[in-house]
Amino acid sequence: MMEWIRFGICAALMLTGLAAMCIAVIGVFRFRFVLNRMHAAGMMDTLGMLACSLGLFAAKGFSLESLKLLLAVAVLWCTSPISSHLIARLVLASENIKEYLEVRR
Amino acid sequence: MKKKNENSRPRRFEKWVVKGSAALDRHLMRELEAGVGEKPFESERIVRREEHREEMRARAWLNERLIYIKLHERMRTKGERRIHAVYMLLATFAVILIIGALLYTVSQMPPSGSPDAPAFNTVAERYIENGLEETGAVNIVAGMILDYRAFDTLGESNVLFLAICSVLLLLRVKLDRKGGVVEGPPGSGEDDLRYEPQDDMILQNLADVLVPFILLLGLYIVFNGHLSPGGGFSGGAVMGAGLILYVNAHGYSGTRRFRLFSYGMFRWATFAALAFYAMSKCYSFFTGANHLKSIVGTGTAGSIFSAGLILPLNICVGFVVAFTMYGFYTLFRKGDF
C-alpha cells in the first residue's frame, strides 16, 4: 500500500513537471519575440525542474542522492531567473523594443 | 548613522531601480515630445550605432577590395599564372587521393559489433584487470588517460594551448589601464561591450554567493580525479566557468585585483603546467624503459596521496583547461585579459 502511494505521488509530480516542460518548449518555438520566449523558457527551468526533482525525491526517499537533487534545484533556482533577468536587460539595451510595444489599432 | 543607511544594499538597490525607471520615463517623454521624425520608433543611440556599423562595414569592404586588386596584379605574368594552374591541379589531385585512401580504409574495416573489431583486443582487458595495481588509481579512466596514455593527454593539453595561442594572435588588443586601445587591428576599440548591461546588482550578489562554491567544486573534482569520476578536464572546465561568472558580475577590475589574471600570469601558469607535465612524463618514461624504480610510488589505493603522478598531472591539466576557458572568454569579449 505504502509503495503504491509513493508511486502515485512520484508519478503525479513527474507528470506535472514534464507537462510544464512540454508547454515551455511549445512556447519557446511558438512565440516570436525574445521576451515572450524568455518568459516561456523560464518556467521550464523553475517549475518543471522543481516538480521533476521532487518526484525523484519521492521515489528515492531521504538519502544523500536525493539531497544532491535538492541542491541542484537550489542552484537552478538561483541561476535561471538571473539569466532571464540579464537577457531582459540586454534586450532592453540593444533591441528596438518600442516597435514591439506599439499598440496597433 | 544616516550615512551608513544611505549606502546599505537595499537602499542602493532602491536608488538603482528608481534612477533607472526615471531615466526611462524621461526618455519616453522626450521621444513623445519630439514627435514623428524620420525614424519615429528608434532611439538615438541605436541609430547612431547603426550608422557607425554601416560606415565600418563600408571601410572593411573597401580594404578587402584593395587587397584583392593587389593580389591579382601580382599574378599578371604568364609564368606565374601557369604555376598557379599547376598548383591548383596538384592540390585537387592530392585531396582526391587522400579522400580515396580514407574511404578505402573505412571500407576494409570489420562491420560494427563483430568480435574481431580492433576495439575488442587484449588492451582493454589489461586496463580493467591490472589497472588498479599498476597505476594505483581507483578511477580506471584516470589511470588510463594519465598513466597508460599520458602522452596522448599531453597532446590534448597542447591542442588547447595552441588554440589559445592562435586566438591570441588573431584577437589580442592591447589596452591601457583605462581601457583605451594601445595597439590592435583597426576598429577593435569599437566593441559591443559598452552596450551591455554593467554592474548588475542582482548578478553581483548571486556571484558573491556562488563563485566560491563553484571554484571549490572545481578544485574538488581536480584533486579527487584519481578516486572518483572527474579529473583535470572537467574540474578545469568548472573552475573556468566560475571565473567567467565572476568576470560577468564584477568586471575585469575584479579579477585583475592582486594582478592574478594578467597576460603575464596566464603565460607563466600555462607554460609551467605544460612543462611540468612533459618533464614528469619524461622521467616516468625514462625509468619505465630502463626498468628502474620510480621515486613516486603508487601508494595505498584510495587515499588522496596515491596513484603516483596522476594527482600532479591532474592539477596541471586542470590549470591549463581553466586558464584556456577564461582566456577564450576574455579574448573574444574584449581582446585582452
- Least confident piece of the model among B18-22, B67-71, B162-166, B205-209: B18-22
B55-B56-B60 Cα angle (round to 5): 120
Looking at the fold, whether B101 and B244 belong to one and the same domain comes out as: no
Do B191 and B313 reside in the same domain of the chain? yes
Instruction: Choose among A78, A90, A99: nearest Cβ to B196.
Output: A90
Nearest CA in chain A to B31: A98
Statement to judge: residues B103 and B152 lie in one domain: no
Structural domains counted in chain B: 2
Instruction: Note the pLDDT tens digit of each residue in B141-161.
Output: 877 887 778 788 888 888 888
Q: What's the whole-number average pLDDT of chain B?
A: 77
Mean pLDDT of all residues in B224-229: 82
CA B168/CA B185 separation, integer angstroms: 13
Looking at the structure, tell me whether residues B300 and B171 fall in a common domain.
Answer: yes
Compute the count of residue pairs across chains A and B with CB atoms less than 8 Å apart.
34
Is B85 found in the same domain as B191?
no
Please return the burial class of B22, using the count of CB atoms within 10 Å of its CB with bins 0-12, 13-18 and 19+.
exposed
Contacts of A102 in chain B (CB under 8 A): 41
Query: Residue B290 belongs to what domain range?
Result: 139-333
Residue A81, classed as helix, strand or coil, is helix
Chain B residues inside the 8 Å CB shell of A85: 200, 202-203
- Looking at this predicted complex, what is its ipTM? 0.74
State whether residue A104 sits within 8 Å of chain B by CB.
no
More confident residue, B161 or B172: B161
Task: Choose the most confident range, by mean pLDDT, from A56-70, A86-100, B91-105.
Answer: B91-105
pLDDT in tens, B175-191: 655 555 555 555 555 55
Contacts of B41 in chain A (CB under 8 A): 96, 98-99, 102
Interaxial angle between packed helices B201-223 and A64-94, expressed in degrees from 0 to 180 and rounded to the nearest 10: 140
Q: Is any Cβ of chain A less than 8 angstroms from the Cβ of B36?
A: no
- Interface contact A102, partner B, CB < 8 A: yes
Q: Are residues B240 and B314 in the same domain?
A: yes
Contact assignment for A99 to B206 by CB distance below 8 Å: no
Measure the CA–CA gap between B104 and B107, rounded to whole angstroms.
Answer: 5
Do B325 and B188 fall within a single domain?
yes
Q: In chain A, which residues have their Cβ closer than 8 Å to the Cβ of B42? A: 96, 98
Does a structural domain hold residue B40?
A: no
pLDDT above 50 for B1 = no
A15 and chain B in contact, CB less than 8 A = no
